[in-house]
Amino acid sequence: MEMQQEANQQQGSEVSPNQTIYINNLNEKVKLDVLKKSLNDVFSHFGKILEVKAFKTLKHKGQAWVVFEEAESASTAIAKMNDFPFYDKRMRIQYAKTKSDVVAKADGTFVPREKRKRHEEKAGGKKKKDQHHDSTQMGMANSAYPSVYGTAPPLSQVPYPAGVKPILPEAPAPPNNILFVQNLPHETTPMMIQMFFSQYQGFKEIRMVEAKPGIAFVEYADEMQSTVAMQGLQGFKIEQDPMLITYAKK
DNA sequence: AGCACA
């Protein structure tokens, strides 16, 4: 039988081992700084980390890249931490598809990419990186930890490294003189908001994003004043929904 | 769901 050709297309997601892991299914509510730090805390136990990258753009939220100094660390991290509950979600971990810039720079193979803003045609732009797709034969031995520990191990007893138990999605934002107000009725106007917030010392201005109803930014002269206002108005119901006030991201 | 290097 000539079905061997099908072997070429193994079940997708087989990427050759490399020193960068790609993580997705991350909790998108976690602030970027917090997320990166937590990832660093978790994964630094598998080896030296060169860099942790995460972005909040639409296309890349909920994902992160952790670059290890050694590919072996990445392998261990995948084996041990895939499906690990992290901020109430199980992280999915794979090898990254492409080499990280930090690595390429150390390699000497780094070639700066241009941000294709223009439709400028460039000569000789064949970036077919011939990656010999040799499939390593260690596919389905014991990939994710559930297979290692039998089925469905008690999450609380998984021997993960650091004290990285599922953390609260709501990480405390650092104080800011600007407040971020959510859960407002969509018909709320800046005027209405102002009535509430302007009664607190140091009030400066309201900013609302037209494209995004239901939220507002309220600026005070300093953090003390914004904090007082936040505490005074936290949970205040404009119509029926309590407004949620946090410090704005810096 | 989604593989970047701001």
pLDDT band at residue A129 using 50, 70 and 90 as cut-offs: very low
- For residue A43, the cross-strand partners are none
Higher local confidence (pLDDT), A8 or A193: A193
pLDDT of residue A116: 55
CA A139 – C1' B2 distance (Å)?
Answer: 24
**Residue carrying structure tokens 């499906």:** A83
Spell out the alpha helix ranges (H) of chain A.
32-43, 71-81, 101-107, 145-148, 190-197, 223-233
CA A22 – C1' B3 distance (Å)?
Answer: 7
Q: Which residues of A122-146 are buried (b: 16+ CB within 10 A; e: fewer)?
A: eeeeeeeeeeeeeeeeeeeeeebbe
pLDDT of residue A238: 87
Residue A219: CB atoms within 10 A of its CB come to 18
pLDDT of residue A117: 47
Q: Each residue of A87-121: pLDDT tens digit? A: 999 999 999 999 999 999 999 999 998 865 443 33
Q: Each residue of A62-77: pLDDT tens digit? A: 999 999 999 999 999 9
Higher local confidence (pLDDT), A241 or A235: A235
- Using CA atoms, how far apart are residues A62 and A59, in angstroms rounded to an integer? 9
Percent of chain A whose pLDDT exceeds 90: 60
CA A26 – C1' B2 distance (Å)?
Answer: 11
Residue A139 has pLDDT above 70, yes or no: no
CA A55 – C1' B6 distance (Å)?
Answer: 8
- Using CA atoms, how far apart are residues A152 and A118, in angstroms rounded to an integer? 50
Higher local confidence (pLDDT), A109 or A143: A109
Strand B contacts in A 49-108 (CB under 7 A)? 53-56, 58-63, 65, 67, 94-102
| DSSP symbols for A4-73 | GGGGGG-SS------SEEEEES--TTS-HHHHHHHHHHHHGGGS-EEEEEE--STTTTT-EEEEESSHHH
Asked if A71 and A19 count as a contact pair (C-beta separation under 8 A), the reply is: yes
Q: Is A139 helix (H, G, I), strand (E, B) or coil?
A: coil
Whether A34 sits with its Cβ under 7 A from any strand B atom: the answer reads no
Q: Each residue of A32-46: pLDDT tens digit? A: 999 999 999 999 999
